[in-house]
Structure 1
């Protein structure tokens, strides 16, 4: 988590996250954040002059919290080479299975204890469809794509760049389905061992597919 955040950054952005989760993006105003955070009127606008700046700060806060959870599971990628903590340079199937188990724990947390944050993340993504300038704010997701590409490359996957992007898209879709899609009705309850096991099975299948050799032409 970055240490150079401005004063009251966490207090104000956490209040904004709760507001968006309850009332959607329309409920996000500087005055509403002030009231929710319990600070004098005008405090939020001093720190984040425009609504765009406030949304950018919310996304940055979400990224900080997500990264902290990834690091707790030993999934931090250190240095410019993107080496995953605790994994060797040449990854074997058992390494990927262990990695899938770690990812499943994080995903289940995003669907249970971190459910509010996940809902807000999707709300920000939808906001960006109407305000293209916000897409640059959501570029923190590019880091996860880079990590996925490097992970697959170290596992010997062909076309690791394209498959890494597909893997990230799969995980995003998996979370969305379990959060508010059909999977939220038929899948295991988030926050349970059954949920973690189910997510681990799905991620393992995706990793094995992503690292499978190219099919020989007929």
Structure 2
């Protein structure tokens, strides 16, 4: 399958998922969103399951590209001095989350839709396991920072950050939370993530304010 056509169809499917949810994801809807002749999507992805699998692969590729671009400390064996500035790395993660909350919001909503679908269709869970890469990266980062139990801490860190992202996107958080895509939101996220990083790395949390 041509890479450009795969990207066009799966990106259109991501947009459909974000707008209509899993029930709205059909071959016809993707064709319309991609501005392609009816029948194009079904020619590439014969079943709905195949379409969902393709969407998950596309989401995984885009997420990995974002993590690579952010240049977070994810390589195993990094020295502690490589991530001694917790605030700087927290700011990097916060910038990525802010992007996912704003310009890439559709991708995150589509990811949540796929994860919920997997609870009803166990055969999709293997494909959705790409999130383990994030846990491995967090484990390596916290090990470099001196965490006593880096694997456990890495899993907990990812869960907390995922919860923070979901809370903001679902609108369940405080109404006073800064708007996504703003410097205020990135600053607020940086404070939260720096606190988490210090806690899971076994460092004493520092009191921070949005004005610091």
What is the TM-score of this pair, normalised by structure 1? 0.86
Runs of 4+ in 1 over 6 A off after TM superposition: none
Match of 1:154 among 122, 135, 144: 144
Offset, 1:116: 1.2
2:91 aligned residue: 101
In structure 2, stretches of 5+ residues that fail to align are 204-212
Name the SS for the 2:135 alignment partner. helix
Name the SS for the 2:139 alignment partner. helix
Inter-partner Cα distance in structure 1 for 2:174 and 2:113 = 18
Summarize the Cα distance change of 1:148–1:129 in structure 2 as closer, same or farther, 3 Å threshold. Answer: same
Offset, 1:7: 5.0
1:177 aligned residue: 167
Offset, 1:76: 7.4
Offset, 1:186: 2.8
Question: Does structure 1 residue 57 correspond to structure 2 residue 54?
Answer: yes
2:83·2:89 contact (CA, 8 Å) conserved in 1?
no
Question: Does structure 1 residue 68 correspond to structure 2 residue 65?
Answer: yes
1:177·1:184 contact (CA, 8 Å) conserved in 2?
no
Question: Does structure 1 residue 191 correspond to structure 2 residue 188?
Answer: no
Question: Does structure 1 residue 27 correspond to structure 2 residue 24?
Answer: yes
What is the TM-score of this pair, normalised by structure 2? 0.88
2:208 aligned residue: none
Inter-partner Cα distance in structure 1 for 2:99 and 2:174 = 15
Summarize the Cα distance change of 1:93–1:7 in structure 2 as closer, same or farther, 3 Å threshold. Answer: closer
Summarize the Cα distance change of 1:76–1:63 in structure 2 as closer, same or farther, 3 Å threshold. Answer: farther
Inter-partner Cα distance in structure 1 for 2:108 and 2:21 = 13
Deviates more, 1:31-40 or 1:142-151: 31-40
Question: Does structure 1 residue 201 correspond to structure 2 residue 171?
Answer: no
2:209 aligned residue: none
Inter-partner Cα distance in structure 2 for 1:131 and 1:5 = 28
In structure 1, stretches of 5+ residues that fail to align are 214-218
1:216 aligned residue: none
